[in-house]
Structure 1
Amino acid sequence: MKMKLAAALAATMAVGATCAFAANPFVDVPTDSWAYKSVVELADSGIIQGVDGTHFEGGRNITRYEAAEIVAKAMAHMDKASVEQRALINKLADEYADELNNLGVRVSALENKVGNVKLTGDFRLRYINQDGDKNGAGKVKDDDSWSYRLRLRANAQVNDRATVTYGWSTDNQSFGNNDAASEDDQTYTDLANVSYNIGSNWNVLAGRYNYVMGNSYGYLYGDSFDGAQLKYATDSFAATAGYGKFKRGLIGGNDYADGTENKDAAKTAYGELEGFFGNGSAAGVYYNNIMVGDNASSIGDVDVWGVYGSVNIGSKWNALANYENYAADKEFSNGDDSADMIYGKLTYGKAAFAAPKSWDLWVEYLQADNLTDTFVGSTNTWRNDNLMNNVESWGAGVDYTFAKNAQFQLMQSFASSAKDGDNDPGEETRAQFVFVF
């Protein structure tokens, strides 16, 4: 029953939350509790009342009838729920159908809401400044420092098992680039997929989706990937396998800046095993067999092994570590057929778009071998390519939610140097406003 209650609270927290700073009605929920914010928001929304109005008794097992009451109140907030939240509420409603009927709540009422289409998006205004290395790589100055990106998403819940997602993006539009014909400046469809749940644990995803391995940081390019994957997931374990083709950047088969033809997009078969722990921590291991094809700078097929761990320490701290190894058929830029990446990040706090005045601070360390830039991509990184490749570098940043759905983010690299040779990269300063809707 504890697991069902946790699922209900997770589903209703974002649905019913109205005030991040409402008064705490429960004398037995201290302000330093990991659950304090969620409990207060749920109580303020009227979704939970505690035991006697003044005590929450969070360690007590609840009855199915009490759990059904929580689900019924979550159903009343369905109009504010996301597609994923509606699907979870629907699943809980099926679980507690008998109890809900006794409460006079018709579970069939959910069916009229499931088919709704939810439109979301985000807008980013970004400033980057970076000096170049000896060869001028990485230089971002003047008008090219400013750029914007707009993304729109449409999520349609077809039924209780199937979800259709479509996404459109302007990509990064530089204020200093007036060449509208540039491939990098064209708008494009970055998401177009169908997600289908098979039973309670299996999911099939097919179409165009973001290709990201767990919480990993490394080289892998993560934008606009066409493929299909099968995933098995429980509360404590997940296994993922997939196959597809990259669609953006050099690894996606786009031509080089000098006009050199880059014939084929790289394909990959991938798999991942992950474990999840009660305090939100996670760990995973993943593998990719990347088939480069006839790229102009082909290095043959590449085998990628990676492992990551994300550990929550108390209610405020998170430590992330990631390691990747690339083994190629031919030599990389470092004259070897193997390249490694080591990454670590320590974060204090959590800036949430739904919680004004929330913030976090972080510091990171990166050490990456000289891997050909065909594989330097955007997976979970804010850095430009010469600060990801053949580099040892530190970084620090702050994220602050200054209003609901509006966040300011500041990032700075420091103590950066070339791992091999003396062609040190210039330090990068990045500041950006991000708005979600």
Structure 2
Amino acid sequence: MKSKVLAALVATMAVGATCAFAANPFVDVPSDSWAYKSVVELADAGIIQGVDGSYFQGNRNITRYEAAEMVAKAMAHMDKASVEQRALINKLADEYADELNNLGVRVSALENRVGNVKLTGDARIRYRYQDGSKEKDNSWDYRVRVRANAQVNDRTKVTYGISSDNKNFADNAQASDEKNDIYTDIAKVDYNFGGNNWNLSVGRTDAYVLGNAYGYNYGDVFDRAELKYQNDKFAATAGYGKFKANGSDLDSGYYINDQGKKVSTFSGNDDQKIDGVKTGYGELEGFFGGGRAAGSALGVYYNDFTRAGGTNSSDSFAADDLWGAYLKGNLGKWTALANYEHVKNNANSAVTGDDTADVWIGKLSYGKANFATPKSWDAWVEYINAEDGAFIGGSTNSWRFADQMDNIESWGVGADYTFAKNAMFQVMQSFGTNTKDGNAKDPEEQTRAQFVFVF
């Protein structure tokens, strides 16, 4: 980009200058230049510095990073910009989003655009296979999601999204099959206050991950009211909400039948779903090794589950209390995650005499695939050791089949590769999978591969 072209842009970006009589810092910008006033005002506001502090060099080609740096400084003065100036700055911020991220400008800052509505979304084509699985003959499916993000004012943001759910290519998504209907998976209002450290979020989210770690027990649609305090070193979250089924994803969990036996809702009992279960929850997190942006964190969390009918009755959700802890370390190109969860599951006592169960999870990753960076990639290996009753049911955030998350010990490997901008290929494979307790046959290994596109 020629800097004389950029000069035409920055002439409309003089959003922070107040001194009309600031001295001209550039010896090569004459007072009779058409851009003189704008250049002087932008230099006085600190948006541009020139070359060697003395030359503007108006005919020089500039790099994208230099342009992005100017945009970043203009963003800092957004509160003083006109509607037209905001629109231009937002457009430039989209163009230089990758460079701005590399310069350390937070994505949250990019999204803080008053009066702007932005549409985003993603599409996924997925293949899943396991010998003997009910999914064996329906291995291919797809999902499309669309989001509208509206910045109401400096503190308030509204997000609404719809999803097609997972539509199977084999059955052609019959209209009578409710699990394939398009549904609202996100509809929430976020209010930021207290110096931007406090956030109140009310409504439905599509990304509630129980524990903010691996998401073993749940990672899906959730209706809640949540208050969060967060800075670069610490975060505290408290909320209350209800799990919502979006088809068949939540038809899981365990209960005790009339014969005192532990039964999985995957057998088809419609009265024993996690859909409608309520939970109060809290989480404390600390960030280290460079703060929250560095990606290293330690967290502890707690969930208290309730359902109409009483916690211990035969027609209630079996799980009661769940707590867990996680540790995530970012070591250069390596990222390590350790996650532990302990759950009180009343269904277990009739089987083992112990109403508690534990799960241990470890994951080691190398590299980082980024949708914005073609040819970026990562590879990972994970380990899961889950006691009988550790999985309470629901839509796990794991890539594995939800009906085979309980009472297992298993390894997994995978890789992610960005083959074009906003387009990624992902592959996962389990191995060494065994049933931990009892004499049930060991589960067959699982394979998954998918293309994901974002827009």
Normalised-by-shorter TM-score class? 0.7 to 0.9
Residue identity in the other structure for 1:317: W
CA contact (8 A) 2:234 2:285 kept: yes
CA distance in 1, matches of 2:134, 2:282: 36
Larger C-alpha radius of gyration, 1 or 2?
2
Tell me whether 1:222 sits opposite 2:219 in the alignment: yes
What does the per-residue CA deviation read over 1:104-128, in whole Å, with 9 as the maximum and x for residues that have no partner?
xxxxxxxxx5111100000000000
Q: Please report how far the alpha carbon of residue 78 of structure 1 lies from its aligned counterpart in structure 2 after TM superposition.
A: 1.7
TM-score for the superposition, normalised by structure 2: 0.70
Task: Give the count of matched residue pairs.
Answer: 351
Residue identity in the other structure for 1:127: Y
CA 256–368 in structure 1, closer or farther in 2 if over 3 Å, else same = closer
CA-based RMSD: 3.2
What does the per-residue CA deviation read over 1:199-223, in whole Å, with 9 as the maximum and x for residues that have no partner?
2211100000132245322443232
Tell me whether 1:342 sits opposite 2:352 in the alignment: no
Aligned to 1:47: 68
CA 158–390 in structure 1, closer or farther in 2 if over 3 Å, else same = same
Q: Please report how far the alpha carbon of residue 188 of structure 1 lies from its aligned counterpart in structure 2 after TM superposition.
A: 0.9
Aligned to 2:271: 261
CA contact (8 A) 1:197 1:203 kept: yes
Consecutive unaligned residues of structure 1, counting only runs of 5 or more, are: 1-40, 50-65, 92-112, 133-137
Aligned to 2:378: 360
**3-state SS of the aligned residue for 1:78?**
helix
Aligned to 1:197: 192
Which one of 144, 148, 163 corresponds to residue 169 of structure 1?
A: 163
CA 72–402 in structure 1, closer or farther in 2 if over 3 Å, else same = farther
Aligned to 2:398: 381
CA contact (8 A) 1:219 1:377 kept: no
**3-state SS of the aligned residue for 1:223?**
strand
CA distance in 2, matches of 1:262, 1:85: 43
CA distance in 2, matches of 1:389, 1:285: 22
Residue identity in the other structure for 1:125: I
CA contact (8 A) 2:124 2:451 kept: yes
Residue identity in the other structure for 1:247: K
Residue identity in the other structure for 1:308: Y
Residue identity in the other structure for 2:412: G
Which one of 231, 234, 237 corresponds to residue 234 of structure 1?
A: 231
What does the per-residue CA deviation read over 1:89-142, in whole Å, with 9 as the maximum and x for residues that have no partner?
698xxxxxxxxxxxxxxxxxxxxx51111000000000001023xxxxx44213
CA contact (8 A) 2:241 2:280 kept: yes
Q: Please report how far the alpha carbon of residue 70 of structure 1 lies from its aligned counterpart in structure 2 after TM superposition.
A: 7.8
Aligned to 1:188: 183
Tell me whether 1:250 sits opposite 2:251 in the alignment: yes
CA distance in 1, matches of 2:350, 2:121: 39
Residue identity in the other structure for 2:448: R
Q: Please report how far the alpha carbon of residue 175 of structure 1 lies from its aligned counterpart in structure 2 after TM superposition.
A: 1.6
What does the per-residue CA deviation read over 1:269-292, in whole Å, with 9 as the maximum and x for residues that have no partner?
000000112132111000000113
Consecutive unaligned residues of structure 2, counting only runs of 5 or more, are: 1-61, 79-84, 98-104, 255-264
CA 312–86 in structure 1, closer or farther in 2 if over 3 Å, else same = closer
Residue identity in the other structure for 1:384: F
Residue identity in the other structure for 1:291: T
CA 159–220 in structure 1, closer or farther in 2 if over 3 Å, else same = same
After TM superposition, the structure 1 = structure 2 runs for residues 154-165 of structure 1, keeping only pairs within 5 Å, are 154-165=148-159
What does the per-residue CA deviation read over 1:318-374, in whole Å, with 9 as the maximum and x for residues that have no partner?
00110000013453685331111110000000000000000001000001112276x
CA contact (8 A) 1:90 1:160 kept: no
**3-state SS of the aligned residue for 2:330?**
strand
CA distance in 1, matches of 2:421, 2:287: 29
CA 359–333 in structure 1, closer or farther in 2 if over 3 Å, else same = farther
Which segment is superposed worse, 293-302 or 147-156? 293-302
What does the per-residue CA deviation read over 1:366-408, in whole Å, with 9 as the maximum and x for residues that have no partner?
01112276x2333431000244111100000010000000000
Which segment is superposed worse, 211-220 or 334-343? 211-220
Q: Please report how far the alpha carbon of residue 47 of structure 1 lies from its aligned counterpart in structure 2 after TM superposition.
A: 2.8
Tell me whether 1:273 sits opposite 2:284 in the alignment: yes
Aligned to 1:116: 116
What does the per-residue CA deviation read over 1:283-321, in whole Å, with 9 as the maximum and x for residues that have no partner?
10000001133497635451101101110112x100011
What does the per-residue CA deviation read over 1:231-250, in whole Å, with 9 as the maximum and x for residues that have no partner?
01111100000001100113
CA distance in 2, matches of 1:214, 1:372: 14
After TM superposition, the structure 1 = structure 2 runs for residues 409-420 of structure 1, keeping only pairs within 5 Å, are 409-420=426-437
Identity %: 54
TM-score for the superposition, normalised by structure 1: 0.73
After TM superposition, the structure 1 = structure 2 runs for residues 23-38 of structure 1, keeping only pairs within 5 Å, are none
Aligned to 2:453: 435
CA distance in 2, matches of 1:244, 1:251: 18
Tell me whether 1:131 sits opposite 2:125 in the alignment: no
Tell me whether 1:394 sits opposite 2:377 in the alignment: no
CA 175–272 in structure 1, closer or farther in 2 if over 3 Å, else same = same
Aligned to 2:303: 288
CA 177–362 in structure 1, closer or farther in 2 if over 3 Å, else same = same
CA 162–271 in structure 1, closer or farther in 2 if over 3 Å, else same = same
